[in-house]
Structures are given as structure tokens and as C-alpha cells.
Chain A
Amino acid sequence: QKEVEQNSGPLSVPEGAIASLNCTYSDRVSQSFFWYRQYSGKSPELIMSIYSNGDKEDGRFTAQLNKASQYVSLLIRDSQPSDSATYLCAATPRGGSYIPTFGRGTSLIVHP
């Protein structure tokens, strides 16, 4: 059973702080990783994708991947109240049928 694990939270951080969201995956053949943001009552939207070990930065967001530890994280710098949402981690293997697996999501609350 391929699993993607996330702490459901909520993770509460003050405005301006760094929010750190973590995700572990069980399937070693997973090669593509995605972070989606989902506002309450809305559909998921892509924040970042990462395919190689290391860091990938896009504005206030940094994704980190460590395939040896089967660990993916998302850092949000200078957190804003508008970042309050559920963040979903997804993993897709390369090869085979490329079936994506989503975690249950971490709820982030950024308070003023």
C-alpha cells in the first residue's frame, strides 16, 4: 500500500513567521512530488513540484526533497493570513502507471 503521510495539524504560526510543512512517503519508486494548496470549500491548486533531491525555491515557497529519507517539505517564508489553507502533498512514481497518491493534508493557520 503506497502511502503519503502528513500531520493533519492545525499548524498555527504568527504572521511573518516561517511555516514548515512535512510529508513522508512509503513508496521508494516515487519520483515526482507536488504540493497543493486547498482553501476551504475550494479545489486544490498547485504550489510547487519537485523531482530532484535538494531545494527548489519559488518566491516565498521552498520545497525540499530527500529521497534517501523519503521526506518532502514545504517552507513558507513571511507567512500571511492568506496562506491559511490545507496543504496537500502528492507523490507519483516514474514508470508503471504513474498513479498519484495524496496525503490527507496539513491545515495551516496564520494569525495576525
Chain B
Amino acid sequence: EAGVAQSPRYKIIEKRQSVAFWCNPISGHATLYWYQQILGQGPKLLIQFQNNGVVDDSQLPKDRFSAERLKGVDSTLKIQPAKLEDSAVYLCASSSGAQETQYFGPGTRLLVL
């Protein structure tokens, strides 16, 4: 069974630029999560999807971050414009249900200069 795929793996941009990350969950997983993990901290949930609907986006900085999951499969997370403090690893995870085990992708390391 293929795992959660993410791209790109690494991205370096300058502040005020925009960037987009892509995630393809495990086949059949209805729940998809985007996390931000800053060095030395635990993952912080940005947004949770159930199929193509948003379950929670209370910690998503909506003035600069957006996410979508069209057709309830893969998802994109966008930052526009980026700030220095957005430098982090962005993790995508999926699960078969909201209470089930989450499987994480390899993450995208973002460095904002």
C-alpha cells in the first residue's frame, strides 16, 4: 500500500513570495490533515478535511494560508505572502476516519529568507 505522498520535499523562498504544497493521501482515506511543525515543537494542526469538506481550520492563518481538497482526494496548501516565521516543516497526514491512526507523509521543509 502506497503511503502519503507530498511534494516538493524542500522549498526555499524569499519573504512575501508565494508557495504551494501538494499532498496525496493513502487511497481510500477520507480524513486529511495539514500540520505545521516548527523546529523543537510538536505538529500544530492547520486544517482538517473530511472528504472535501473542512472539519476545522481554526488555527489556519487565513489572511495568508489557504487549503483545498477538491474531489476529496489530494490537497494543496498555499501560503501567500510568506513570512519568515512560516519557516517550518509542513506535514500532511491521512486516516480512514477522524478517530483512527494518522499516517504521515515525508513532509515539506520550507525555508523563508
User: What is A's interface to B at a CB cutoff of 8 Å?
Assistant: 4, 6, 8, 32, 34, 42-46, 49, 88, 92, 94, 97-105
Contact status B48-A97, CB under 8 Å: yes
Q: What CA separation (Å) do A3 and B91 show in the bound complex?
A: 20
| Chain B interface residues (CB < 8 Å from chain A) | 33, 35, 40-45, 48, 55-56, 58, 91, 98-99, 101-107
A88 with B45, Cβ < 8 A, contacts A43-B104, A97-B55, A98-B99 known: no
- Chain A residue numbers with a CB within 8 Å of B55 are 97-99
A-B contact count (CB 8 A): 52
Secondary structure type dominating chain B contacts: loop
Q: How far is the CA of A72 from the CA of B29 in the complex (A)?
A: 27
**Would A104 and B107 be within 8 Å (CB), given that A98-B98, A99-B48 are in contact?**
no
CB pair A104–B99 under 8 Å, yes or no, is no
In the complex, chain A residues whose CB is within 8 Å of the CB of B40: 8, 104
